[in-house]
Amino acid sequence: MAKEKSDLLQGTLDMLILKTLALDAMHGWGIAQRIEQISDGVLNINQGSLYPALYRLEQQGWIESEWGSSDNNRQAKYYKLTRAGRKQLAQETQNWERISAAIAQILRAS
């Protein structure tokens, strides 16, 4: 647990959720696990904050949800990306790359 953790930038959580769901439908806990795993524990997600984000994304029509059985045969709410969500993800990814490239350039320059 000695790893340094970074706070999540505002708005990035939404993008990470969309990205996670782009692979497969997933329940809330699963999304949290996956983000942690893939980021190798660098990103410090407050697990609770995941859910309001999910509700917000659903309200915006980027994801939708349905109840299904989990691996251990329990009822879980699964989220999956909608077409609008896919478009949104593409856009946000592009944005992100442009901005991070710009920031990286500035940091290199100094």
Partner 1 sequence: MFRKLFLSIRSIVMRNRLEGNLDRELRFHLEMETEKNIKRGLPREEARLEALRSFGSVEKVKDECRDESGVSFFDALWQDLRYGFRVLLKRPAFTLIALVVLALGIGANTAIFSVVYGVLLRPLPYDRGEDIVFARQQAPQAGITNLPFSVKELNDYREQNQSFQSLVEYHSMSFILYGRGEPKYVTTGVVSHNFFDVLGVKPLLGRTFLPEDEEKGAEAALVLSYKYWRESYGGDPNIVGEKLQMNDRPHIVIGVLPSIPQYPQENDVYMPTTACPIRSSQRVIENRNARMVNVFGRLRPGVSLDQARADFTLIAARFKEQHPESYPDSRGYGVGLMSLKEELTREARPTLLILLGTAGLVLLIACANVANLMLAHLMRRERELAIRAALGAGRRRLIRQLLTESALLATGGGILGILFAAGGLHLLVAFAARFTTRAAEIEIDASVLAFTLIISVLTGILFGLLPALAMKGSLTSSIREGGQTTAGHRRHRLRNSLLVSQVAVSFVLLIGAGLMVRSLLRLQQVEPGFDPAGVLTMSINLNWSKYNRPEQTRDFFTRLVRKVQESPGVSSAAVASTFPMDQIGINYGPFNRNIQIEGRLVGPSEPVTQADFRIASPDYFKTIKLPLIKGRYFTEADDEKSLRVALINQSMAKHQWMNEDPIGRKVSLDQGETWLTIVGIVGDVKQYGPDRESTDELYTPFAQTPGGRALLIRTSGDPMSLARQTQNAAYETDPEVAITDVRALEQVRDETLAAPRLMTTLLLLFAGLALTITTAGIAGVIALSVSQRTNEIGIRMAMGATPARVIWALTRQGLLLVTFGVAIGLGGALGLSHILRGLLFDVQPTDLITYTAVSFVLIVTAAVACFLPARKATAIDPIQALRAD
Contact footprint for partner 1 (CB under 8 A): 27-29, 32-33, 46-49, 51-56, 58-59, 61, 67, 70, 74-77
Q: Which is nearer to partner 1, 46 or 100 (CB)?
A: 46
Q: At its nearest, how many Å lie between partner 1 and the CB of residue 93? A: 23
> Nearest-CA neighbor of 92 among 8, 7, 18?
18
Is the Cβ–Cβ distance between 30 and 78 less than 8 Å? no
Measured from the CB atom, is 11 or 52 closer to partner 1? 52
Q: Is 11 or 61 the residue whose CB approaches partner 1 more closely?
A: 61
Q: Kindly state the helix (H) or strand (E) to which residue 68 belongs, with its residue range.
A: strand 63-69
Q: What is the edge-to-edge ordering of all strands in the sheet holding 26-27?
A: 26-27, 75-81, 63-69
CB of 110 to partner 1, least distance (A): 28
Rounded to the nearest 5°, which phi and psi values hold at 7? -70, 150
Q: Of 6 and 110, which CB lies nearer to partner 1 in the complex structure?
A: 6
Tokens matching residue 95: 């944005």
Question: What residues pair up with 26 in beta bridges, in sequence order?
Answer: 79
Nearest approach, Cβ of residue 28 and partner 1 (Å):
5
Encoded amino acid at 109, one letter = A
Question: Least distance to partner 1 from the beta carbon of 29, Å?
Answer: 4
